[in-house]
Amino acid sequence: MSLELNQLTKKFNENTAVDDINLTVPTGSMYGFLGGNGAGKTTTFRMILGLLKQTEGTITYNGKPIDYSVTNRIGYLPEERGLHPKLKVEEQIRYLAQLKGMSKKDIDVKLDEWLERFEVPENRDKRIEKLSKGNQQKIQLIASIIHEPDLIILDEPFSGLDPVNVEILKRSVKELNSNGATIIFSTHRMEHVEEMCEELCILNHGAQVVSGNIDKIKSDFGQKEIIIEGD
């Protein structure tokens, strides 16, 4: 049971954004994609999500080519946050949850639960534009995972957040993982991956530098700090 990327490649004209990625994300794991600007993290995620067609290679989920029945349910936190500034928090989450096919009854229950867990219950009647960046990020994450998907992809979930919100987000993401979701996230920072994941893939200019078990990679590299170019 896993998500597998085989010889996954994406070219934009002459630019090879993702170059022959081969890796396995075990079901139920937390998997980190580490890389600097332009490393190919978002492009890889967009191919998994079916938003971009790969130039070469395959993506399989639990042994079958990934298709809309899977991609439609993936919980996705995009790097460009897509909230509507004029909507109230509750309206925004309800709107996005309905697009995921949730019933009003389910949304009623889950909305309270997730606002509590992310420590933003008092914000439900505020307009998005009135929230801090950290709280906006939390609202976007709630909207991405409120339907409780099996697979969650988070594109730089911790970027631009203050340390308190980073901790709240990390705790919530760990909770989602211990409740059974497979989580993939990207970051520029090794410390996030070390704290959260057992496995990672390091990308550099589209190429897979190394992937697999973090402890093994660290001992193979023979150093604690792995410097990410472009960070």
CA distance linking residue 1 with residue 168, whole number of Å: 29
Q: Which is nearer to ligand ATP, 92 or 211 (CB)?
A: 211
The residue among 79 and 119 lying less far from ligand ATP, judged by its C-beta, is 79
Angle at alpha carbon of residue 200, lines to 53 and 115, rounded to 5°: 80
CB of 115 to ligand ATP, least distance (A): 28
| Amino acid symbol at 147 | H
Radius of gyration of the chain (CA): 18
Site residues (vs ligand ATP, CB under 6 A): 12, 15, 17, 35, 37-43, 79
| For ligand ATP, the closer CB: 175 or 229 | 229
* The residue count for the chain: 231
| In the complex, minimum distance from the CB of residue 52 to ligand ATP, in angstroms, rounded to a whole number | 8
Query: 43 or 144, CB closer to ligand ATP?
Result: 43
Q: Minimum CB separation from ligand ATP for residue 186, in Å?
A: 6
Phi/psi for 139 (5° steps) reads -65, -40
Nearest distance from C-beta of residue 87 to ligand ATP, angstroms:
26
CA proximity to 60, closest of 145, 148, 1: 1
In the complex, the smallest distance separating the C-beta of residue 55 from ligand ATP, rounded to whole angstroms, is 12
- Helix (H) / strand (E) containing 4: strand 2-12
Q: Based on CB atoms, which residue is closest to ligand ATP, 32 or 118?
A: 32
d(CA 30, CA 141): 16
Note whether 112 and 123 are within 8 A (CB): no
